[in-house]
Amino acid sequence: MPAVETLGSTSAINSDKTGTLTMNQMTVKTISTVQHRYTVSGEGYSFEGKIQRIEGEPEENFDHVLFPCALCIDTDIRDGEVVGDPTEAALYVLAEKGGINVEEFRKNNPRIASIPFDSDYKFMATFHSLKTSTGEEVIRAYIKGAPDVILNRSRYGSMPDGTIKELNDVDRKKVEDENERIASQGLRVLALAQKDFDPKSFNPEDDLMMLMHDLTMTALIGEVDPPRREAKEAIRKAKNAGVRVRMITGDHAVTAKAIARELGIDGDEITGEEFAALSDEEAEKVIEDIGVIARVAPEHKVRLVKVLKNKGNIVAMTGDGVNDAPSIKAADIGIAMGITGTDVAKGAAKMILVDDNFATIVKAIEEGRKIYDNLQKFLRIQIANMFMFIVAFLGASIFSVIGTALYSPGQVLWIHMLVVAPIGVMFGLDIASPGIMTRKPRKIDESILSRGMYIRLFVAGLFMALTSLFIYHIGNTTYGSLQVGQTMGLVTISLMNIFLALNQRFPYDSSFQKATFNNTRLLYAYLWVIFGTFLITETRLFHQLMGTVSLDASQWGVCLIPGISLLFIGEIYKAILRYKNNE
């Protein structure tokens, strides 16, 4: 229940891009080298497709692009299913489309050392024993990673004829511009690089990170990860519900911005480093204008959660990796991925997405709001009846309306267990109220029932008590029978509960709408109350059990008047509230 309550109050969602907002089904669409551009056809993880040159003269050798795609990955594709990371799977497919049998190629060029990918340094490197085109044996490192990181570590560039050129400022600017161009299309950009080492001096046991400088940059790869169709609608729905969605990603800011605009995420983009450079006061001041945080590190996510919480938000945070656990734990509602999430992330979370789909988060928020709203419905009808019985018994005692007990224990139990309880249970299982996802998030410290609502319920209970006492008195005096008065009072309370439920199911919206009749189970509860009331008044068995008598049509009509009056008084009051809110 605490998690459900939190979901209903969520006002900010910080969502990972890959796999949550997008399909996490990467496909290479473009390749750029120093003087060439290529497009890649085909979809998904099928090996069907072609690499076609669209700019530049033919290159003498394309191995510097295909070899790292086959070797600098930890992913396999078996029978069309990806075992590993989808980003690497796209490179695997690219190598196959380029004519490399990846599985056999790996066997013939075994890995002798590696630097695994880490979000801190944003690249991966593998080391292999190879022969150059001249037959010379070398240890070659293949590196893939974020373009800005690879470019900063690179000193050289691979030329079309296979020669190596030292990069100058103009060359670096061209690489940066090309990165921006690809990223602006909403593609994730990876940079490829390599470096050769003398087999005699290379030691796999050395600190390999110290060797990652003076690299030779070879290509930029653009991968598309299609946004989930349902994510755009879910973001729109969250926006209408007053929930601000922000996208956090390790991608380049330009890529992130393009995808965010496609998904409908509002706000400016900022990098994790820029966000970290802001003071707490500056961060709180600009956070409402930020919709995308790119090149994000785990510590940036934690700070984002803290900034939003300091601004009074109830924050939901998604994540899947071990490094995401601190931010998931720091959030009010931590959300782990059920498919790609690690056990550490799942352990830190309060909610696990079994389908890794952002739309499920919004559905969960709606479900949380619905459950909380239904709990309020249940409490409203219970509390109104509690006030009614308190006032009715006190009134009967104080004013001596009758000379015996107002209602027998059996009659009181009938009202509680077979009138109020069925309606209350159906309220607890009610479908979502219309417009529940257009309301602003509820404040977490807000009482489950407001003071104003308690007053309304007391007034409703008071009305029910006084009218039932009055009907009781009419039956006793007009028809000269205590049993007739008691039966009429009992029928009046039973029928009034139906009208009370009609009025309090939507405490601010009119009951005269189609939604009033959209819950079949609730309608059955109303019919049961009518049928049950008929049973206790018109059958001999229940006459003996409940101490009731039969009523004629006019008596039934008198019992119906208070309920109708209660409904119309309640509707007039709701209309006044709506009018004041619209002023």
Would you name the residues annotated as active-site residues? Answer: 16
Tell me the H-state helices in 211-357: 229-240, 253-263, 272-277, 280-286, 298-310, 325-330, 343-348
Nearest Cα neighbor of 242 from 27, 11, 463 is 11
Q: What angle do CA 537, 538, 543 make, to 5 degrees?
A: 60
Determine the length of the chain: 583
d(CA 553, CA 493): 17
Tokens representing 407 are: 């209602």
Cα(324)–Cα(332) distance, rounded to whole angstroms? Answer: 14
If you ran DSSP here, which 8-state letter would residue 227 be given?
B
Amino acid at 119: S
The neighbour count for residue 321, using CB atoms within 10 Å, is 17
Closest to 246 in 3D by CA, of 290, 280, 283, 282: 290
352 three-state secondary structure: strand
- 51 in Cβ contact with 30 (< 8 Å): no
Tell me how many degrees the CA angle 54-60-63 measures, rounded to the nearest 5: 90
Question: Rounded to whole angstroms, how far apart are CA atoms 61 and 117?
Answer: 27
Across 74-86, b (16+ Cβ under 10 Å) vs e yields ebebeeeebeebb
The candidate with the shortest Cα–Cα distance to 316, out of 243, 369, 235, is 243
Selection from 515, 503, 526 nearest residue 577 by Cα: 503
3-state class (DSSP) for residue 562: helix
Separation CA 305–CA 328 (nearest Å): 9
